């Protein structure tokens, strides 16, 4: 979503060289303001932001110019201000003193409320909670069925006594849903409400009536980030009409310019609590202003990336791989398969690549990445026998021909995968001395990724002189 802004800011920063005068700073902040306006950020927010950056830079100009790298000091100031404009620190979910915590979702039709209800329920459930979904959108055709389908898919119960499509009273459903949750000891209730295509009084009144009857602990305003400045206008109308505690942005994966996300906190005075970045239930997370600022400024979002990796790969699998690696054992196709499995759980590869530092500069590669390559690679490995997976050296011509037939791929593809795999195995061995990580990308065919980071891996432990101790160390 913020690619264009990230690229513009990147080029503005690259124009900063050596010491900076006040007039350089004025020029620099004017360029930032223009870049923000072009990204659809509201005028007052763009102005306020660039003025704050200018004030801060001017007040620290001695310090900036004494530093060995003035541009990086200015970069830090912009980063801090950007984090502030996005809300400062992350807003956490507030729990009710006595469960259940009641969450009311409001917003326009099509904002993504019903999908969001599912995503939020899935998120809460994966943290050990017992959410209940309540179908109080009785207006939009199919909204009740949609909620039931999503509830089924994530194994979260849905309270839906009315069929919807214009039938039933949403206030009664909401009240009965909360009571049901109390009786059945659910610790969260998520109430989905109806939206309209535009803000209107009847809609506001219905949401107000639901709010007054269930007294939610959290009221969230769900808004489609793709609708630009309209998102801010709608948010203000809901804030005046119904009131809400925090904003949830959906469709941050879209190619809109991101102005809504950057303007909404400042203009409503309410924080963004969650963000949705796709149609799958896993495309959802807490909104972290600092991480978003890093992404916009091209520093990537390594914190989210590693959290996603942790969530996707069971701890025992990653521990096993790490142990093998430290012991100097060969990386096998079996290990590779478990990594591919984890990558599948992590979501789309292009999205993950977007979290890497410098992602703005590799937009083309990210767009061109062929997700089906991973599926083909899996099919090939799944056609191998356990012996072949654990010892690829046995893969002679006839075995390769059999694998090609089994996976429906050409022999040249099998050869190329085995070739890339043995190269990666070799590099992994060298790497134990502290060289570069080849990454799974090399295997999955992403030879066009940027150079990997240098990392310091623990060196292989020295072996004990005591044979008994050594036997323990070596796991004999």
54, 25 Cβ separation under 8 angstroms: yes
Please enumerate in sequence order all residues whose Cβ is within 8 A of that of 27, keeping only pairs 6 or more positions apart, or say none.
none
Opening angle at CA 237, ends 235 and 243, nearest 5: 75
Residue (of 291, 294, 101) closest to 187 by Cα position: 101
- Residue (35 or 124) nearer to ligand GDP, CB: 124
Interaction residues for ligand GDP, span 451-470 (CB under 6 A): none
CA 206 to the chain's CA centroid: 33
Restricted to residues 184-203, the positions that interact with ligand GDP (CB under 6 A) are: 195
Contacting ligand GDP (CB under 6 A), which of 152, 240, 279, 474?
A: 279
Alpha-carbon distance of 379 to 361, in angstroms, equals: 32
Per-residue mark of binding to ligand GDP, 326-365 (x: CB under 6 A): ----------------------------------------
Our CB check for ligand GDP shows the closer of 32 and 366 to be: 366
**One residue of 129, 234, 250, 407 binding ligand GDP per CB under 6 A:** 250
Kindly indicate which of the ranges 86-94, 196-204, 248-256, 374-382 contains the residues binding ligand GDP, using the contact rule CB under 6 A: 248-256
Min dist CB 355 to ligand GDP, Å, is: 16
Q: How far is CA 35 from the centre of its chain?
A: 24
Per the CB < 8 A criterion, the answer to whether 379 and 408 are in contact is yes
Cα dist from 103 to 132, 184, 190, 246, 429, whole Å = 10, 17, 5, 11, 51
- Is 277 a binding residue for ligand GDP by CB under 6 A? The answer is yes
CA 43 to CA 218: how far, in whole Å? 30
Count of residues touching ligand GDP (by CB under 6 A) = 19
Q: Which of 4, 203, 276, 403 binds ligand GDP (CB under 6 A)?
A: 276
Stretch near ligand GDP under the rule CB under 6 A, chosen from 87-95, 128-136, 180-188, 278-286: 278-286
50 with 32: CB under 8 angstroms? yes
Residue with smaller CB distance to ligand GDP, 70 or 112:
112
| Cβ 141 vs Cβ 165: under 8 Å | yes
Of the residues 70, 278, 289, 392, which one makes contact with ligand GDP according to CB under 6 A: 278
Residues 100-159 that bind ligand GDP (CB under 6 A): 107, 109-115, 140, 143
Distance CA 429, CA 423 (A): 10
Applying CB under 6 A, among 91, 251, 270, 400 the residue interacting with ligand GDP is 251
Q: Interface with ligand GDP includes 253 (CB under 6 A)? A: yes
Residues that bind ligand GDP (CB under 6 A): 107, 109-115, 140, 143, 195, 250-251, 253, 276-279, 283
């Amino acid at each position: 979503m913020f690619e264009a802004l990230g690229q513009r800011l990147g080029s503005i920063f690259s124009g900063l060289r050596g010491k900076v005068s006040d007039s350089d700073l004025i020029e620099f902040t004017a360029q930032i303001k223009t870049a923000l306006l072009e990204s659809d950020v509201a005028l007052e927010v763009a102005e306020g932001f660039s003025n704050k950056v200018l004030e801060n830079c001017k007040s620290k100009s001695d310090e900036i110019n004494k530093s060995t790298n003035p541009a990086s000091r200015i970069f830090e100031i912009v980063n801090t201000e950007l984090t502030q404009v996005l809300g400062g620190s992350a807003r956490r979910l507030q729990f009710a003193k006595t469960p259940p915590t009641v969450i009311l979702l409001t917003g326009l039709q099509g904002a993504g409320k019903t999908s969001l209800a599912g995503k939020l329920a899935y998120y809460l459930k994966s943290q050990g909670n017992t959410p209940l979904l309540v179908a109080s959108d009785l207006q939009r055709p199919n909204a009740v069925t949609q909620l039931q389908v999503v509830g089924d898919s994530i194994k979260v119960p849905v309270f839906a006594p009315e069929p919807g499509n214009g039938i039933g009273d949403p206030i009664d459903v909401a009240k009965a849903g909360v009571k049901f949750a109390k009786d059945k000891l659910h610790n969260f209730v998520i109430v989905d409400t109806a939206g309209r295509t535009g803000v209107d009084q009847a809609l506001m009144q219905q949401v107000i009536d639901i709010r007054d009857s269930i007294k939610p602990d959290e009221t969230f305003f769900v808004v489609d980030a793709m609708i630009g400045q309209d998102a801010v206008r709608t948010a203000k109308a809901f804030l005046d009409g119904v009131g809400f505690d925090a904003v949830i942005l959906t469709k941050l994966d879209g190619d809109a310019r991101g102005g809504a996300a950057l303007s909404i906190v400042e203009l409503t005075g309410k924080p963004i609590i969650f963000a949705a970045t796709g149609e799958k239930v896993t495309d959802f997370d807490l909104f972290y202003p600092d991480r978003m600022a890093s992404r916009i400024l091209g520093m990537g979002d390594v914190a989210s990336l590693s959290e996603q990796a942790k969530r996707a790969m069971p701890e025992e699998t990653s521990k096993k791989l790490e142990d093998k690696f430290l012991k100097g054992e060969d990386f096998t196709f079996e290990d590779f398969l478990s990594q591919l499995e984890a990558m599948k759980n992590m979501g789309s590869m292009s999205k993950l690549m977007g979290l890497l530092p410098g992602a703005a500069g590799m937009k083309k590669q990210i767009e061109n990445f062929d997700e089906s390559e991973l599926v083909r690679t899996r099919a090939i490995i799944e056609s191998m026998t356990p012996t072949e997976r654990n010892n690829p050296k046995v893969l002679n011509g006839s075995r390769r021909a059999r694998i090609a037939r089994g996976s429906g791929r050409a022999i040249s593809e099998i050869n190329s995968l085995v070739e890339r795999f043995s190269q990666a195995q070799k590099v992994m061995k060298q790497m134990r001395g502290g060289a570069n990580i080849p990454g799974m990308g090399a295997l999955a065919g992403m030879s066009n990724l940027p150079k990997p980071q240098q990392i310091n891996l623990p060196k292989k432990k020295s072996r004990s002189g005591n044979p008994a101790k050594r036997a323990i160390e070596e796991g004999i």
